[in-house]
């Protein structure tokens, strides 16, 4: 019934800080459209951003900054991701470590974004 994920929403303290982080560290593209949440684009997916006090309907029942925990699949080798994290002063909390993802074995690193969401970036080594 389900083919994939189109987007998910993060509630953040500052759209500006969140966009700057994901653009600088992971190369996401920012999209601003009138009367729509700011979005971060990557691959064929996006993250919609709801700033505390300026959320869009419908929304989660209890939107809270820092409650996200998600895994992103790297388009480049994990070593390049780690180099970008280091160059931007982002501390890797765990990894690289072996994990099992939706498509099988992968290597992952874990770090925090400006709202303390746990971000996992993984490489299937293909």
Give the integer Cα–Cα distance in Å for 117 and 110. 10
Per the CB < 8 A criterion, the answer to whether 28 and 22 are in contact is: yes
Is residue 93 among the annotated active site residues?
no
Give the integer Cα–Cα distance in Å for 13 and 65. 6
Catalytic residue among 51, 57, 98, 120: 120
Q: Of 6, 74, 73, 104, which is closest to residue 46 (Cα–Cα)?
A: 6
Count of beta carbons in the 10 Å neighbourhood of residue 36: 10
The residues that are catalytic are 120
């Amino acid at each position: 019934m389900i083919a994939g994920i189109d987007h998910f929403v993060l509630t953040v303290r500052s759209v500006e800080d969140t966009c700057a982080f994901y653009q600088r560290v992971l190369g996401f593209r920012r999209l601003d459209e009138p009367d729509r949440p700011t979005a971060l684009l990557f691959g064929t997916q996006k993250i919609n951003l709801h700033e505390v006090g300026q959320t869009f309907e419908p929304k989660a029942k209890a939107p809270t900054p820092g409650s996200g925990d998600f895994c992103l699949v790297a388009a480049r080798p994990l070593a390049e991701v780690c180099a970008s994290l280091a160059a931007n002063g982002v501390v890797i909390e765990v990894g690289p470590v072996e994990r099992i993802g939706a498509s099988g074995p992968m290597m992952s690193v874990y770090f925090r974004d400006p709202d303390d969401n746990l971000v996992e970036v993984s490489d299937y080594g293909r």
